[in-house]
């Protein structure tokens, strides 16, 4: 009775040339970029709905204030 040979992981992989692998990778990258460009607003909207709310710790310094301080050069001079 013949002994059954088990395939190795490498034998399960699809055998393609280096050139074919590069072309496939380029095509998949282009497809992903095109999809992202087309559906950018929908993707951002979804990510914003699942993003956790930032912590509001009163001890945390405000590094980026919502209203930046006004510059003295922005005011009109009073003479």
What's the pLDDT at 36? 96
In terms of residue numbers, what domain contains 40? 14-50
SS3 59: coil
Any domain includes 41: yes
Any domain includes 62: no
- The pLDDT profile of the chain, 79 residues, written as one tens digit per residue, is 566 666 666 666 678 899 999 999 999 999 999 999 999 999 999 999 998 887 778 887 777 767 766 776 666 555 5
What's the pLDDT at 18? 92
Any domain includes 3: no
SS3 30: helix
Any domain includes 40: yes
Query: What is the total count of domains within the chain?
Result: 1
Write out the two tokens for 74.
């922005």
Any domain includes 29: yes
Q: For the chain, percent helix, then strand, then coil, each to nearest 5?
A: 45, 0, 55
Write out the two tokens for 59.
């001890």
């Amino acid at each position: 009775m013949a002994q059954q040979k088990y395939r190795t992981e490498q034998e399960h992989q699809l055998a393609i040339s280096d050139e074919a692998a590069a072309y496939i990778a380029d095509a998949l990258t282009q497809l992903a970029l095109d999809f992202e460009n087309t559906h950018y607003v929908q993707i951002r909207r979804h990510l914003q709905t699942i993003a956790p709310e930032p912590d509001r710790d009163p001890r945390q310094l405000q590094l980026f204030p919502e209203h930046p301080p006004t510059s003295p050069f922005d005011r009109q001079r009073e003479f």
